Structure 1
Amino acid sequence: MFKKVVVTALAATALTVPHASAEETCTIESGSLNWGIKYSWRSYLKTGFAAGDWSTSGPVTQTGDPKGKDFSFGFEVDPETSTVTVDEEGNVVSSNIESKDSSITFTGHHGALHSTVVAPFIKTSGNKAHLGSGYEVYHVEGKNMLQYTEDDHIDANKRTGDGIFGHGTAQWTKEGDTLTLSASDVRYKEQQGTRDGKVEGVDQLFMGMYSSENKPELDDAHLTLKVSSGCGQKKEEMPQDQEKPQNEPAPEPPVASPEKEEKPQSQPPATSQTPAPPKKPETPKSPESSESKKPGTDKPEKDTPSGSSFAKVWNYILGVATIGSMFAILGQAFIKSGALESVRALLHR
């Protein structure tokens, strides 16, 4: 019974394994990320008193009117460092998308502003999207960023790193081998250390001007990925096909084996009791002796005193009867042969 329970438990566990490990990481062949970052920031540089501009390096494209809301920078996805994971239904579970080496350098305020966005990235988990980038900025302790000059742009004052500053809603769609992501309602959230006039991390890109309470709106982002053929397709029939080979061999062999083992296990107790002379009181009490009459009838009688006496008497009776029978046979033969009449004739002479 215990073996049957164990076999059933193992079979149930085997059937749940495919569901637990059904997620699949797709191979990304190519992709593009289009993101204008922040419309108000671009407008501030182009039309505001910042009198600024930007320049790009690496594989970066620009689409639309730089002063308009529909403008976007285009970045190439790096397949080597990017990942996207789908479930057994073909839905995207999570992703970590990085762009190839590229940058956008913002300048303005007569040289005071000089910050560089490096290789933007986007991460998703469920329906949540998180956007950010690397950064290169200059920091002079105790000096307001608007008071920086070009002389302050030296390696000793350079600060680099990366961070997430945009959070929004992720919506994935799939057509063939193409995955498309739309990140909407993206809003700016400052770093934990940015407060009371102190600017930390990636917030230095924008001179600490934005926060979750001050102009937090960021541009929507759009991502397109070309993945390997077949990845992300619904696999409704595959679990059913996998259950059949796992279901048939698992229960049948183990269930049959205990039945074969139960039959021979009932015999050793009977054989083990027969050769043990000391167990005299167990002989009349054991019901198993009646179950095995043929193998166990003669041996107990020979091993006990009463059995030995009876055997001796019985052998004596058989011996006497045998001798008597022999004499009877000889007598009959003697009479039939006529020898008896010859003897009588000799006696009468």
Structure 2
Amino acid sequence: MSTSMLRVINGETARELYPIADAIPDMADALSRFSTGQAYQHPRITADPPGHGGRVLIMPAASGDTFGLKMLSMFPRAGEKNLPGVQGVVILLDAVHGQPLAVIDATVVTEIRTAAVSALATERLAPAGATTLGVIGSGVQARGHLLGLAKVRPWESIKLYGRTAAKAHALAEWAGEQGIKVEVVGSAAEAVRDAEVVCTVTSDSEPVLQDGDIAGRNVHINAVGAFGAEWREAPSALVARSRIIVDSRESALREAGDVMIPIQEGLLGEDAIAAELGEVLAGTARGRIGDEVTFFKSLGLPIEDVVACDMVYRRAVERGAGDEISFP
């Protein structure tokens, strides 16, 4: 039996190999292929191991000759060891011969591809000429979104609110070092008061937005943080009066509290989802229609992870990056 080499790629290396700007066109292609039935992915599997209140998400998908299996853990006690609240890996295999190719840090890849998808949604769904951005949240995804959205719009004003002021100011300082000017404000309402684009990137289970915060304005919202049928970042009234775009109808109707709760309350029907973002990108559905609130609910697709990790792996091979180990 011959021995092959398995490449292990950590988050720092993945970030160097695959900047968000490079991920944006790749995610457009992945989303378009998904929504037009040209990509394979299995519905997300959720496991709830007993004893410690954690959750594990298992997500298989294939892109071309590469198969990937993403596994994310979400455990409330991660902070006791100063670990991220979301951790995980992606395992890549050769989809022709079944050969394991790489193990890649999924935490960083998730940050990159999620921000790239929100950048695409902003590019296609935000009001024309939008130059004001409000961000609620100050964690990893907030950092990625500040970088990603800077690639698609020339923001004249960015206001940021985070529950922990020290984290928010540290993020604003980091953003300034990247050439992105961010103003830290004292409340979520203040962050979105004049914003034409809003990103909610929190770990909250209850709405961080209020309907009145967005009243009377044309706004695009990227709702990124909440995952699960009972978790949401936006109130029902706001979602009910918005044009709703999702990454996957099936996933949104099963896993997105932002969409499911208004349906359960009778404020929306299951047909209220106007389109998948991939349909908008493929030209088979319209995005923004005139003066309105557009609401993009992002859950993340396994095909996004496999496409991103395939690019990370290919670049790692080309540049000799990562660590190789004999396998099996």
Q: TM-score, normalised by structure 1?
A: 0.21
Of structures 1 and 2, the larger Rg is shown by: 1
Bigger RCO (CA 8 Å, 6+ sep)? 2
